[in-house]
Structure formats: C-alpha cells, structure tokens
Amino acid sequence: MNGQTTPESFGEQTIWQTFKYDMGSVGRSVGYAFTRPTKWKDKQWIDFAGIVAGTALLTLADDEIDHWSDGFRSAIPNNVLHFGGKTANPEGNYSLSGAVYFTGLFIKNEKLRRTGVLMLASSITGGVLQQVTVRVLGRSRPLTGDSANSFDPLLLKKVNNYDSFFSGHTVLSFGNAYAIAKQFKSPWIKAGIYTVGMIPGFTRIVISKHWFSDVALGTVMSILIVESIDKYLDSRYNQKYNNKKVNWDLSFAPGQIGLNVRF
C-alpha cells in the first residue's frame, strides 16, 4: 500500500469515519487528475497530440455525419431517446454514482465503495473540464443550423447552443459505464456495459445536440480520466480490480481513424 493508511488497515471504523476517508479520496483523486499532465513524459505528450489531431480530423466529417443522421432520426425509438437525453443527464449520472457508493458504504463492501469513489471523482473531473472547455471554445450545436466549424470563443457565461464541444452527457455516462465495467472480468459483460454507456452519446448526435467529434472526444476523455484516477486509488484502497486490463489503442492514418480494444 506504499505506506498509505486506509480505514481497513487500522481496525474497525465507523460509517462516518469511512465516509470521511472516501470523500477525501474523491477530492484527492480530482486533484491528482488535474495535476497529472505536469508529470507527463514524451509518450504521454505524443498520445495527447494524437488525440488532438484525431479529433481535428473528425471535425472535418461532422457536417456530413449530421446530414447522414437525418435519414434515420425519426426511426430511433422514443424510449432510447429518453434514456440518452433525460435519464442519462448529469443529475441521473451523479445519482447513479451516489447509489453505488452508498450501497458499498452501508454493506461495508470496500470494492463497491471504491467503485463509487471512482465514479464520483471521474464525474467531477470530467464535468469541470467539460464546462471550462465549452466556455473557452463556444462551439455551435448542430441544431443551430451553423456549420461544425462555427465558434464563439471565450464566453465567460455559458451560452445555450454554443456549448457543444465536448459532450458532457458522454463523458459522464461512458465514464460511469467504464468504471462499473471494471468490476467484471467477462469481455461480453464489459462490452454490454460499454454499449449502454454509449447510448447517451449516440442519442445526442441523433437529436442534433452534439457533433460526432464532440461525442468521440467525450468517450476518449472519460476513459483517460477513469484510468488515471483508478491508478491513483490503488494507493488508497486494499481492494483491486481484476488484473486483466483493457487496452484502448487509437490509430490515425490519412482518411482513417481507428479504435482498437483488447480485453
């Protein structure tokens, strides 16, 4: 445990003491995630440059993908749209994170508590980063009728319909799904959870709330945030997730963008 003292390492603790420790873990995790770039080496900066370049390439196809979506918007079931637009909103995601954490707290399950801490810290980190980004860039949403390359940058206040990049629903919903999937070893269960986590991003494209690149970056950001925080939580909790990692490899080539997943 690298000398780290945890509630489990110094005897039976009250629920209040455990709760304070876990909320401290949430705060420390958020701080760790935001300061982590100061520790990046060459490989991490190269990966970051690749994500920036890949996202820039995706923006070139955003208008075409939005027009292509016109052909099937009306065919998407209303319950799917409701899940993506309402159930998976920030309030719903934070409620899910809280439910997972408090369940683990009251049944005294450290692994479940850690999952809740991971979800809460990742949601806070992703939410703050997304809110800052939308104000700095001020990208128009598809529903405005403007092109994907329309920006009104450096907005001190959030302006509705000019807060598209990147997708907050996606970074929260897929981040939670990714954190929950860490509980399981089966690639099929993981894939099923990932699929559910991707529904909100898909529906945001369908209802013209986001461009495809907004959702793609939100997905990538959620993975990076969860992985970074989960690595930090190894020093705070005795319980670890299964040792078999999921490797996500991004590849870019002229006219081609790839995402390879290895279980």
Q: Write the DSSP string, 10-77.
A: GS---HHHHHHHHHHHHHHHHHHHHHGGGG--HHHHHHHHHHHHHHHHHHTTHHHHHHHHTTTGGGS-
In this structure, of 52-56, 83-87, 125-129, 183-187, the range with the lowest mean pLDDT score is: 83-87
pLDDT over 60 (residue 253)? no
When pLDDT is cut at 50, 70 and 90, the band that residue 258 belongs to is low
At residue 139, what are phi and psi to the nearest 5 degrees?
-80, 140
Q: Look up the pTM and report it.
A: 0.87
What pLDDT does residue 104 have? 94
For residue 214 the two structure tokens come to 């907004």
Kindly list the distances between the CA atom of residue 61 and the CA atoms of 48, 139, 222, 245, 253, in Å, as whole numbers in the listed order.
Answer: 21, 15, 22, 32, 15
CA distance 214 to 32: 25
pLDDT over 90 (residue 87)? no
What mean pLDDT is predicted for residues 52-61? 93
SS3 label, residue 172 = helix
pLDDT over 70 (residue 255)? no
When pLDDT is cut at 50, 70 and 90, the band that residue 249 belongs to is low
For residue 89 the two structure tokens come to 């909103």
* 261 sits in which H/E element: strand 256-262
When pLDDT is cut at 50, 70 and 90, the band that residue 130 belongs to is very high
CA distance 155 to 107: 45
Q: Residue 261 pairs with which residues in a beta bridge?
A: 248
What pLDDT does residue 257 have? 46
Q: Residue 249 pairs with which residues in a beta bridge?
A: 260
Share of the chain above pLDDT 90, in %: 66
pLDDT over 90 (residue 127)? yes
Kindly list the distances between the CA atom of residue 252 and the CA atoms of 44, 51, 143, 249, in Å, as whole numbers in the listed order.
Answer: 16, 9, 29, 10
